[in-house]
Chain A
Amino acid sequence: MSLFVNGAQVPAPTDPRVSLLDHLREGLHLTGTKKGCNQGACGACTVLVDGERILSCLALAVQFDGRQITTIEGLASEEGLHPLQAAFIEHDGFQCGYCTPGQICSAIGMAAEAQRGVPSHVTDDLGGTITLTREEIQERMSGNLCRCGAHNGIVEAIQAVLVEGVPA
């Protein structure tokens, strides 16, 4: 049994109790994915599984046999930072940096959902297409808490890259 993390095949843990989060952090030493509450209440552990954002703290690693997992460590390329990573720096979308990997992974997952047409709680017309307004971004990112209060910068960074398509 194995999973793929940032493109590399890695073994699953032998103890089925190990969450995907703890497997990443303690088993694979990929500590970019953060543990904030370990109970699905903060979003700091957000990773992408086959492109979809989930909470790795509520996921058992053994459930992800053969799946493609992308963490914050897998976003940059040889050309440099992912545009969203650069935009977070430019727009000061963090202070302490602890919720940041989760925010960035979540935003990437959000963009795919919006593109697919998934509505949100604040979407007026369930039958319409999705435009990532400021309010839509705020609602869709509400599963990622930030205690430093970098919310404005986070939304601005996301708008700059995912809505306006401006690389930072």
Chain B
Amino acid sequence: MSVFDAAKQAAQGLVQGVVQGAMEKLVPLAPDSWIPGGVPDPLIARKHGLIGKPVSRLDGVHKVSGTAAFAAEYRFDGMVYAALVYSTIPKGRIAAIDSAQAEAAPGVVLVMTHHNAPRLNPMPMFGSSPSAVGATDLPIMQDGVIHWNGQPVVCVLAETQEQADHAASLVHVTFDETPAVTSLAEAQANGVEQGQFMGAPLLDEVGDAEAAFAAAPHRVDQTYRTPRHNHNPIEPHAATLAWIGDRLVIHDASQMVTQQAQNMAQIFGLDPEQVHLTSPYVGGGFGSKGLWNHQVIGAAAAKLAGRPVRIALSREGVYRVVGGRAITQQRVAIGAKADGTFDALIHTGLSTMPPHGTMPEPFILGSQAMYGADTMLLKVEVGRMDTLANTFMRAPGEAVGTFALESAIDELADSLGIDPVELRIRNEPEKDPIKGTPFSSRHIVEAWRTGADRFGWADRPETPGSRRDGEWHVGMGCAMGTYPYYRMPGAEARITLTREGDTVRAKVEIAAAEMGMGTATTTAIVAAERLGLPLEQVDIAYGDSAIPGAIMAGGSQQTAAIGAAVIAAHNALVEELLKLAGNDSPLSGASADEVGSEAGGLARLDNPDAKETYVSILARAQRGDLSVTKAGSAPLETMHWSMHSYSALFCEVRVNAVTGEVRVSRFLGSFDCGRILNPKTALSQFRGGIIMGLGMALMEETQLDERNGRIANASMAEYHLPVHLDVPEIDVIWTDIPDPHAPMGAHGIGEIGITGVAAAVANAIYNATGKRIRDLPITLDKLL
């Protein structure tokens, strides 16, 4: 296979990890110029444009006015409302469904069960094809078999939501229960297996780490535990949908718009073009706004009833139907020399997933590239439990894995008497510790130094438990965070220039999702810069399956995926413009790479006075508009370089000596994430991740009742998220050093924020109290 064949194949795969094995032997040998991204994006060099200037989000006025329409806010004529009934057992079969009362209740249009549901194809399970995004491929209301406690078993449609909810409460379902595995201990006793993630085993070995650890003069060897988590976007999952002829129209809340449309088509035996899915606004996702049972049930019920349907999950319903982050139990063992450098780094442990799942929480991902060590052993094993399928939740793997690793490093620093910032710097790797590839852009030491200086790290109490302010113990801690740079193939961009009198507008269409990350705004900024147009003349369209290409708001890769597609489309646009310009243009004879976009037109790079505006080119060619669509290049850059984002995190906590209550009083995140495109929305992304990390550190836990596999706290009153009073003013700084191998020099920043935060808090609590808590969340009872 040639590199080009491999690149083509990569472009056809959804997930670069799948093809990585085939590619990594070939690509590192290739010269830089072969590699897409190997020639730095010219935008990186442009310092005085829109990039890096704070821009308010373009959809802001709709969001503050209440005019932004979310999934459950669309309407169809004749629409009915859905309510679900859920299984109350973890495993078995439906014995009987008594729905007579419900069917007779006022307003009821349909009671759908596995007896009358339309026959459906299985949900395409993640990893089974490039576009598959289902968390499982279990039948949905097809056979009466129960796989988890909370599985939807009946759907009621009625004229109003009140009628549907009431009728659902009248349905009586009985079950034949069979033995289920609902406790971690049982799952372990049944035997664990090697975890697989993105088609590869979660196992990395460099040398004989156990032997090196045993021989090391200084050792830390501890077990850390993290509970289940739920994403808890404030918008509950919902879809408003209708069958119009043989087409299915879905207004969904989706962070994988095109893929979900394709998957729904597959489930209902339709051509992809027959499903139109829109999702212009998503009220928070964090990994959860994907394809779950409810959209399928809603569409099936709509088909059966011949009526449009609104299926809006109750908050409890979200916990029952939409999976969260799995539990982990992690061992971190570090063997070090007296100077603190690592002889051995071992990070192993256990996560869980259901028999029908595909997602072991990959908590070693961060450890793959954070530190150099002579030997390493990283391994995730998985036990099977009969639960709802767990899924991706903000920084899957890194969020919880960094809690363990970065707590252990703090423990080692403490036992060695070395400052924990210094210890980390001493273990900086020179190249990727596992793959051996060079780092594309790694400036974490600079982030540590500037962060420590700004935070006042030198003022940290040297002795744990030594600083007191009235009733409060005060302490400081730090931790490192990391998240890889990804770029998934499949992204396309369509750029359309439209002449409006003596001006021009550009429309950029991308099949992306916007959940508040600021994607639409940064895309507009980048497109405006590339096109040489003011921001006001650029429109962005997204969140619609009719737009070509497939982009996913996941893996913090959307910005890069869009960026590469826009580069490709822009290049194609320039070529088309030059063709239209013809011989009468000052640009005559120039090739696409000899011109640049400036001030509403094109100019020769070697002679900027040789230029022509878009308006002029289009007018002379008697064209009203010009449209090109192009896919981004294959994402080969991550095979050539080790590409990651990094953070140095500093936390000050106050722990009440009487009650054990913890208050985070100060927090600083010092980030190294390439070039920051829009400081205003980037700041919110970093802070948002950090705040979710504070919740994870101190209060968040999905309580799975191990007796029956049912989530006990399926409510926002009992699952605690941080409130305003829990959140200090969070200081954020960044290196702003462009990654020369990434489009725009930028990295996605949606997930890096949460990584490392729980450890920074735990380490600060140790510094404040002398108590080391290795079991999240750190609730006050653990500190009494």
Judged by CB atoms under 8 Å, the answer to whether A and B touch is yes
Question: Within 8 Å CB of B285, what residues of A?
Answer: 96
CA distance A153 to B312 in the complex (A): 29
Query: Residues of A within 8 Å of B, CB-based: how many?
Result: 63
The reply to whether B234 and A42 form a contact with Cβ atoms under 8 Å apart is yes
Question: Min CB distance, B622 to chain A, in Å?
Answer: 41
Given that A29-B75, A149-B690, A149-B692 are contacting pairs, would A97 and B59 also be in contact in the complex, using a CB cutoff of 8 Å?
yes
**Segment with Cβ contacts to A, from B89-97, B136-144, B524-532, B719-727:** B719-727
The reply to whether B727 and A152 form a contact with Cβ atoms under 8 Å apart is yes
Question: Min CB distance, A71 to chain B, in Å?
Answer: 7
CA distance A72 to B717 in the complex (A): 24
Question: Could you jot down 18 A-B contacts, CB within 8 Å?
Answer: A30-B66, A31-B73, A34-B70, A34-B234, A36-B716, A39-B716, A39-B717, A81-B65, A95-B688, A97-B59, A98-B284, A147-B234, A147-B286, A149-B689, A149-B691, A153-B684, A153-B687, A154-B724
CA distance A41 to B518 in the complex (A): 27
CA distance A95 to B314 in the complex (A): 22
* Closest B residue to A87 using CB positions: B64
Count chain B CB atoms within 10 A of each CB in A25, A36, A99 and give the residue with the most: A36
Question: Min CB distance, B418 to chain A, in Å?
Answer: 33
Query: Residues of B within 8 Å of A, CB-based: how many?
Result: 62
Question: Within 8 Å CB of A29, what residues of B?
Answer: 75
The reply to whether B725 and A142 form a contact with Cβ atoms under 8 Å apart is yes
Mark out the residues of chain A between 68 and 106 whose CB falls within 8 Å of any chain B CB in the assembled complex: 71-73, 75-76, 81, 85-86, 88-90, 92, 94-101, 104
A15-51 interface bits toward B, Cβ cutoff 8 Å, 1 = contact, 0 = none: 1011000100110011111111111111010000000
The reply on A1 being an interface residue by CB < 8 A is: no
CA distance A101 to B234 in the complex (A): 12
Given that A36-B234, A41-B715, A96-B515 are contacting pairs, would A73 and B66 also be in contact in the complex, using a CB cutoff of 8 Å?
yes
> A142 is contacted by which of B63, B236, B683, B723 (Cβ under 8 Å)?
B723
Question: Min CB distance, B730 to chain A, in Å?
Answer: 6
The reply on A12 being an interface residue by CB < 8 A is: no
The reply to whether A31 and B716 form a contact with Cβ atoms under 8 Å apart is no
B interface list, Cβ under 8 A from A: 56-57, 59-70, 72-73, 75, 160-162, 166, 231-236, 281-286, 312, 314-315, 515-518, 680-681, 683-685, 687-692, 715-717, 721-725, 727, 729-730
Question: Min CB distance, A128 to chain B, in Å?
Answer: 20
The reply to whether A97 and B516 form a contact with Cβ atoms under 8 Å apart is yes
> B715 is contacted by which of A15, A39, A85, A98 (Cβ under 8 Å)?
A39
> A88 is contacted by which of B64, B689, B722 (Cβ under 8 Å)?
B64
CA distance A92 to B723 in the complex (A): 18
The reply on A132 being an interface residue by CB < 8 A is: no
Question: Within 8 Å CB of A123, what residues of B?
Answer: none
* Closest A residue to B719 using CB positions: A41
Given that A88-B60, A101-B66 are contacting pairs, would A18 and B283 also be in contact in the complex, using a CB cutoff of 8 Å?
no
Question: Within 8 Å CB of A147, what residues of B?
Answer: 231-234, 284, 286, 692, 721
CA distance A72 to B681 in the complex (A): 23
The reply to whether B234 and A104 form a contact with Cβ atoms under 8 Å apart is no
The reply to whether A96 and B234 form a contact with Cβ atoms under 8 Å apart is yes
The reply on A155 being an interface residue by CB < 8 A is: yes
